[in-house]
């Protein structure tokens, strides 16, 4: 590599550290126990103090270093000065040393759109918090929480939570950073929590071990908290051997690239561009695909509508099988405009 790193590599290197900081904020708010929950459109569409602080931290940090980039965050927040302790100025050195794919070398700041989901899986985050609170209240010297059985509690929900920073150019998701703040939660008190996964189309994806679901087993992952008849009909039509119901778009893409699920199927409105941009880039970087249920790609230009109105279908392999199985009734109900 000669000269200074390309703008987009510097942006990903910053986004990596910014996502780590946001992950730390998400952990800190959970442990404070004061979530400051606000209902947006309803009980399954929540915002917490962690969503607010993480978004402020991400947007202020990135826009300070890259003032000409368009940044679109999920949360609608009042414009105010962001306190210094929320600012992150670091860059992940290792990313700066990676070769930028030729087609992105000359990108200018003003051509880039960044989609920010400060906390994906907010519903599950709030439920995990309630679970922790109950455990703490029940704790006496003789009645300690049994963390050796995480599935007997709702603590596994912590892994549904991610921080998503997606980078788009020319309407396409080209790079993404996914921080999973509670990764390794099973190790209990004192363990270092969290990991960061990132990827770039044409370069690859890092921070995890790529695995596929063995053989021709079809394991479908879908929503846990935003289900309806269409969602269920569409999952059933895939003739899955197994269905996993978990929260978060970022979390479900991690399941695909780590060989725990073969397809993410969500035949409903609800998911938005900030939910899919980073996951799509990471998945595509390892040869996977994220589309709507028709098999059509979403665009990520600054002026697109935020809602992914025609659902989400994501796979590492065999995308056509899944698009071909979507029932006509579901396609009709989620008709593209």
User: Which residues are at the interface with ligand A2P (CB under 6 A)?
Assistant: 44-45, 74, 117, 120-122, 223, 225-226, 247-249, 270-271, 275
Q: How far is the CB of 139 from Mg ion (least distance, A)?
A: 30
Q: How far is the CB of 307 from ligand A2P (least distance, A)?
A: 9
Q: How far is the CB of 22 from Mg ion (least distance, A)?
A: 11
Question: How many CB atoms lie under 10 A from the CB of residue 73?
Answer: 19
The answer to whether residue 124 forms part of the interface with Mg ion (CB under 5 A) is no
Residue 221 is among the residues annotated as catalytic for this protein: no
Identify the H or E element spanning 273.
Answer: helix 273-285
Tell me: is residue 86 an annotated ligand-binding position.
no
Distance, CA of 131 to CA of 126 (rounded, Å): 9
Residue with tokens 């759109």: 113
Tell me: is residue 120 an annotated ligand-binding position.
yes
The answer for residues whose C-beta is within 8 angstroms of residue 206's C-beta and 6 or more apart is 197, 198, 199
DSSP one-letter code for 288: -
Q: How many residues does the chain have?
A: 337
Binder to Mg ion among 20, 88, 92, 120 (CB under 5 A)? 120
Q: How far is CA 249 from the centre of its chain?
A: 5
The answer to whether residue 280 forms part of the interface with Mg ion (CB under 5 A) is no
Q: How far is the CB of 138 from ligand A2P (least distance, A)?
A: 28
Residue 51 is among the residues annotated as catalytic for this protein: yes
User: Is the Cβ–Cβ distance between 66 and 85 less than 8 Å?
Assistant: no
Distance, CA of 282 to CA of 178 (rounded, Å): 8
From Mg ion, ligand A2P, none, interface partner of 271 (C-beta below 5 to 8 A by class): ligand A2P
Distance, CA of 327 to CA of 330 (rounded, Å): 5
Question: Which entry of 48, 122, 291, 315 is annotated as an active-site residue?
Answer: 122
Size of the site for Mg ion (CB under 5 A): 6
Tell me: is residue 74 an annotated ligand-binding position.
yes
Tell me: is residue 119 an annotated ligand-binding position.
yes
Nearer to ligand A2P, 105 or 229 (CB): 229
Burial class (CB in 10 A: 0-12, 13-18, 19+), 11: buried
Q: Would you please indicate which residues are annotated as catalytic (active-site) residues?
A: 51, 122
Binding residues: 74, 117, 119-120, 275
Report the binding-site residues for Mg(2+): 74, 117, 119-120, 275
What are the residues binding Mg ion (CB under 5 A)? 74, 117, 119-120, 122, 275
């Amino acid at each position: 590599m000669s000269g200074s790193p390309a703008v987009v590599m510097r942006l990903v290197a910053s986004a990596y550290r910014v996502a780590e900081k946001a992950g730390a904020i998400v952990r800190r708010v959970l442990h404070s126990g004061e979530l400051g929950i606000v209902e947006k459109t309803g009980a399954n569409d929540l915002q917490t103090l962690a969503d607010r602080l993480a978004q402020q931290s991400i947007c202020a940090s990135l826009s300070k270093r890259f003032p000409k980039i368009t940044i679109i965050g999920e949360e609608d927040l009042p414009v105010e000065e962001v306190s210094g302790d929320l600012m992150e100025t670091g860059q992940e050195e290792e990313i700066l040393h990676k070769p930028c794919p030729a087609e992105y070398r000359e990108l200018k700041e003003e051509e880039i759109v960044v989609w920010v989901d400060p906390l994906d899986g907010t519903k599950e985050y709030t439920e995990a918090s309630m679970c922790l609170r109950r455990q703490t209240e029940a704790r006496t010297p003789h009645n300690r929480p049994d963390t050796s059985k995480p599935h007997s509690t709702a603590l596994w929900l912590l892994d549904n939570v991610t921080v998503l920073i997606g980078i788009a150019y020319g309407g396409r998701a080209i790079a993404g950073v996914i921080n999973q703040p509670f990764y390794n939660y099973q190790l209990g008190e004192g363990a270092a929590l969290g990991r960061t996964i990132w990827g770039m189309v044409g370069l690859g994806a890092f921070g995890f071990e790529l695995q596929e679901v063995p053989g021709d087993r079809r394991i479908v992952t879908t929503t846990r908290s935003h289900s309806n008849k269409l969602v269920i009909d569409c999952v059933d039509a895939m003739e899955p051997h197994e269905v996993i119901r978990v929260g978060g778009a970022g979390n479900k893409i991690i399941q695909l690239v780590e060989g725990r699920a073969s397809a993410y199927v969500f035949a409903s409105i609800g998911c938005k561009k900030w939910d899919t941009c980073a996951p799509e880039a990471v998945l595509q970087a390892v040869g996977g695909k994220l589309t709507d249920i028709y098999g059509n790609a979403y665009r990520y230009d600054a002026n697109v509508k935020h809602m992914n109105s025609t659902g989400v279908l994501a796979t590492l392999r065999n995308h056509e099988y899944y698009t071909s199985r979507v029932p006509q009734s579901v396609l009709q109900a989620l008709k593209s405009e």
